[in-house]
A and B are shown apart, each in its own frame.
Chain A
């Protein structure tokens, strides 16, 4: 069964209103389609989380979800094509972290990805990134085309 989306290059979304920030507050970055090119923006996001005093478990959760999203974009969205780019947007304040990852691929239908925790799928070697993103983040939203994902992590109450 194909989980590819119905069309390519969906129009870029604005930040979902329920994430509670203004679109103009986000920092925009475009990087080459290589995980090494993502290290610098990732380090900037992690540094912002530490500066705002997020605890280790929340930073672990955000790092994991961010890396799964970026890996999906580079590998599955852009098919490891070095001529393509990955687009990132992020925002961090004392109460929430928001980030977006968009690739230049054809997207996919998240609802058609099999549940990796079902007994019959437990020993399949792939397909866990998406469910980890949902487990660790407060909200996860895909664009209609499926080539853009927005994630929100609300800071746990202190």
Chain B
């Protein structure tokens, strides 16, 4: 079932919360904070949360959004969960590569590939 929210579209499949972003640009401080809070609420209180962030709609990203993702990853790991990212376009992947965050996050080309890898974890 899809849960409507201001910045995210969330679906559940096979024990994984699959998150798509409603905004094409994740740039502004306030919306980044709100996205961070919405993502935190998804994993809050859930033991071993499994979360997939699908970036297929996103074509711009500010460095503050990278910080928000790092904070989320720490939260998920504290709860013994797993965070994966997928469908990051070439330009945004370059931002992850320049900042070396492609080594910090588990990034997959497609959501299908990412979902299949949860099963292997």
Contacts and interface: CB of A to CB of B under 8 A. Distances in A.
Interface stretch (B5-13, B46-54, B66-74, B112-120): B66-74
B99 A117 contact: yes
Interface residues of B, number: 21
A67 B68 CA distance: 17
Interface in A115-158: 116-117, 122-126, 128-129, 131-132, 135
B60 A124 contact: no
A78 to B, nearest CB: 13
Contacts, number: 53
Contacts of B62: 64, 67-68, 71, 129
| B interface SS class | helix
Given A60-B91, A63-B60, A122-B104, A128 B29 contact: no
B29 to A, nearest CB: 7
Interface residues of A, number: 22
B37 to A, nearest CB: 15
A64 B103 contact: no
Given A68-B62, A68-B63, A132 B95 contact: yes
A57 B91 CA distance: 7
A35 B27 CA distance: 10
A107 to B, nearest CB: 19
Interface string A43-66: 000000000000011001001100
Contacts of B103: 122
Contact of B67 (A63, A68, A128): A128
A108 B10 CA distance: 41
A128 B99 contact: yes
A139 to B, nearest CB: 17
Given A117-B100, A122-B101, A71 B95 contact: no
A75 interface: yes
Interface in B61-101: 62-64, 66-68, 70-71, 74, 91, 95, 98-101
List of 7 A-B pairs having minimum Cβ-Cβ separation, nearest first: A125-B67, A128-B63, A129-B63, A117-B100, A125-B70, A60-B91, A135-B98
18 contacts: A35-B29, A60-B60, A64-B62, A68-B62, A71-B64, A75-B29, A117-B99, A117-B100, A122-B100, A124-B70, A125-B66, A125-B68, A125-B71, A128-B66, A131-B99, A132-B98, A132-B99, A135-B98
Interface of A: 35, 56-57, 60, 63-64, 67-68, 71, 75, 116-117, 122-126, 128-129, 131-132, 135
